Amino acid sequence: MELTRDAASFREATDAARDGGASIGFVPTMGALHEGHRSLLRAARTQTDRVAVSIFVNPMQFEDPDDLARYPRDEAADLAMCEAEGADLVWAPPLEEVYPLGVELAHPDPGEVGDLYEGAARPGHFAGVLLVVHRLFDVAGPCTAFFGEKDAQQLFLVRRMAEREPALGVTIVGCPTQREPDGLARSSRNTALPPEEREQAACLFLALTEAAERARSGERNANALVAVMAREIGATPLARLDYAAVVDEATFEPIGVLDVPARAIVAARFPSARLIDNIALPKAAA
Ligand code: AMP
């Protein structure tokens, strides 16, 4: 496994692999790697010839400086996981390699969806995400990039950006959310939860599965599903509901009736961390 710090060396390595006829699987991360990231590495390993990983905590997508300062970092453990999962190339750049002084970078517009849900809770977040992901794609070159469904709104916006800019040569693959045994979505932020909060954090998944069950049993009113999710999270003493919604998979906009492929999304604040999760809603059983 090769570790590079500067953008030029990372690009040289991916170019050399492509010149040799290999496809590149690219897994962008902010480090503190866990089982969710591992699943992306494995998907890349099975679907592409060479696996490239980036590890970069992007300050531009944090609107709260304390949140950025608290973000967990453990490069040695990250490199060990990349190596164990058969990554070929890791790019762990310093800030100036991602945002070089005097270089004008593309600022893709997240549009209206960028102001909803996570974008409403974290103003400027998706502009920061698309800025860094576009830069990472520019440096990595043509590839298949793997993203988690855990961050469904991010996946939607990144996929739309890649589709709108075919010159990037990037195809996006979404990978299923990896969960703890009680259903809590794996996240770098889970380590911040003390035991009582950790126990109650399963309420997000409970809310989503209850909504999914209602959809399977024939409920077509999205507001009824939203109410079910809000009730479940609202009944959890340490959780404060941020949002619960049902969105159209094709537009990420809220829907009233489940007559298109839809996804339920939730966010809740606990005293020690803010958690998000989502689930694809099944069609009603015949
Ligand atoms: P992050 O390091 O948090 O920026 O995440 C890097 C990638 O891992 C993103 O595409 C995330 O959606 C994905 N990811 C994070 N947690 C999970 C999870 N529990 N299951 C699947 N993918 C995940």
**pLDDT tens sequence across 179-206:** 999 999 999 999 999 999 999 999 999 9
**What pLDDT is recorded for position 282?**
95
* Protein residue whose Cα sits closest to atom 15 of ligand 1: 36
* For range 112-131, the mean pLDDT: 97
pLDDT value at residue 119: 98
Q: Which helix (H) or strand (E) holds 27?
A: strand 24-29
Nearest CA to ligand 1 atom 18: 36
Taking the C-alpha atoms of residue 56 and residue 247, their distance in angstroms, rounded to an integer, is 30
pTM over 0.95, yes/no: yes
Q: What mean pLDDT do residues 2-17 have?
A: 98
Mean pLDDT along residues 114-136: 97
CA dihedral 166, 170, 173, 178 (to 10 degrees): -130
Pairing between β-strand 262-269 and β-strand 240-248 as defined by DSSP bridges: antiparallel
E-state strands within 30-150? 50-55, 89-91, 143-148
Residues 56, 116: Cα–Cα separation, whole Å: 25
| pLDDT tens, position by position, 31-75 | 999 999 999 999 999 999 999 999 999 999 998 999 999 999 999
Q: Rounded to whole angstroms, what are the CA distances from 257 to 220, 229, 238, 278?
A: 6, 16, 31, 18
Given a cut of 90, whether residue 168 has pLDDT beyond it is yes
Beta bridge partners, 243, equal: 267
Pocket of ligand 1 (CB under 6 A): 29-30, 36-37, 39-40, 147-148, 150-151, 175, 177-178, 185-188
> Rounded to an integer, what is the distance from CA 231 to the centroid of its chain?
26
Instruction: Confirm whether 134 is a catalytic residue.
Output: no
Tell me, in angstroms, the distance from the centre of ligand 1 to residue 157's CA. Answer: 15
- The residue written with tokens 């932020």 in the block is 189
Average confidence score pLDDT of the chain: 97
Tens of pLDDT, residue by residue over 68-80, are: 999 999 999 999 9
Q: How far is the CA of 178 from the centre of ligand 1 (A)?
A: 9
CB atoms within 10 A of CB 190: 17
Average pLDDT over residues 146-158: 98
Statement: residue 175 has pLDDT above 80: yes
